[in-house]
Copies of this chain bind each other. A is one copy, B any other.
Amino acid sequence: MTQPLPVPPGARPREGWFFEDYAVGQRFGHATPRTVTAGDAALYVALTGARQPVHCAEPVARALGHPACPVDDLLAFHVAFGKTVPDISYNAVANLGYADLRFLEPVYPGDTLAAQSQVIGLKQNSGGTSGVVWVASRALNQHGREVISWVRWVMVAKRDAAAPAPATVVPELPKAVEPGRLPVPPFLKPRALQPAATGGARLWEDYAPGETIDHPGAITVEEADHMLATRLYQNTARVHFDAYSAATGPFGKRLVYGGHVISLARALSHDGLENAFAIAAIHGGTHANPTFAGDTIVARSIVTACDPVPGRDDVGALRVRLLAAKNARLATVATPAPGAKDPAVVLDLDLSYLVPRRG
């Protein structure tokens, strides 16, 4: 993606953009940059139960070479993602998928994130009342450095069903972030991560493709906490906040922000993936079913690859299929075939963690 030029902000309709407003190549410089603080980090812990000590114990972060605790990768992502909502998914019916998401640099309290996007694909749905928009987005810090980049596609309502369909452009997306493109900060000393700090002794060499880890915890989602999380990220998508309108909508109730479910699954996965200290990339994933307040989330990780990271003998990439299911005992949930759906599965994510190597 080349340097996006912001569309004139005054041009944004107050009700947001609809499907027929998008054109392939269109660029957005999203509004309301956001400084991330220790307050956001504390709230993230309270909202998700995240426990990775790199993000919440200063001595652990400093031992790894960080100047301070970086905020949770997903907190940074949600804030950046939230910036894109007013221009991309304000009128979204559903957030359909992610690809090529890379965490390029750590984000520290005090950093200010801004986001930019470019439309890279469009496809009207057969019903003619909505369509799929693909966008490539990136978050920049206050130094203008790219800290996260990703592609997502989202189903957006049409303002006027009679508006003509645009030419269909379905972008070719990488099936995965190749190991050579997995970002690892050069300063990082992964072997400084102590099992006594994380609570787990297993390192990169101790996992093997095919291993399935049923994480033991479970979290029930309340209306208050998914809304607190989503407002913290300044994500304004209507479907999460407005019970009055939702009562007459497709689900009859508010929808939980899919990113909150990713965060819960990631937090639950700590027990079993204690030394997966950072997310390097999200290769793809879908919110396979909606999540609502009252649902109880459980998580399973299936190791799909153990990739060496080129140029590093101290850290490896653990590729994992992270499933979140709801309102079921994990033992009763069969892992769906890739691409298949199970009514209990709400999240099916393909991601790579960084894990220290024994060396």
Interface on A for B, CB 8 Å cutoff? Answer: 6, 8-12, 14-16, 29-35, 37-43, 45-49, 51-53, 56-60, 69, 86, 110, 112, 142, 195-202, 213, 215-220, 222-225, 227-229, 231-232, 234, 236, 238, 241-245, 254, 271-272, 274, 294, 296, 327-329
Nearest CB in chain B: distance from A205 CB, A:
13
Q: Hey, which chain B residues are within 8 Å of A30, CB to CB?
A: 199
Q: How far is the CA of A319 from the CA of B236 in the complex (A)?
A: 26
Separation of A25 and B202 alpha carbons in the complex (Å): 26
Report the Cα distance A215→B11, complex, angstroms: 16
Is the Cβ of B45 less than 8 Å from the Cβ of A42?
no
Contact of A39 among B38, B198, B224, B238 (CB under 8 A): B38
State the copy count for this chain: 3
**Docked-complex contact B58 and A110, CB < 8 angstroms:** yes
A296 and B244 contacting across the interface, CB-CB below 8 Å: yes
Cβ–Cβ contact B201 & A46, under 8 A: no
| Complex contact B241–A217 (CB within 8 A) | yes
With a cutoff of 8 Å between Cβ atoms, the chain B residues found around residue A236 in the complex are: 49, 51, 217, 271
- Of the candidates B29, B32, B47, B217, the one whose C-beta lies within 8 Å of that of A51 is B32
* 10 A/B residue pairs, CB under 8 Å, sorted by A: A14-B215, A14-B216, A42-B42, A42-B43, A46-B231, A47-B231, A48-B231, A58-B142, A217-B241, A220-B254
| B39 in contact with A201 (CB, 8 Å) | no
| Minimum Cβ distance to chain B for residue A154 (Å) | 18
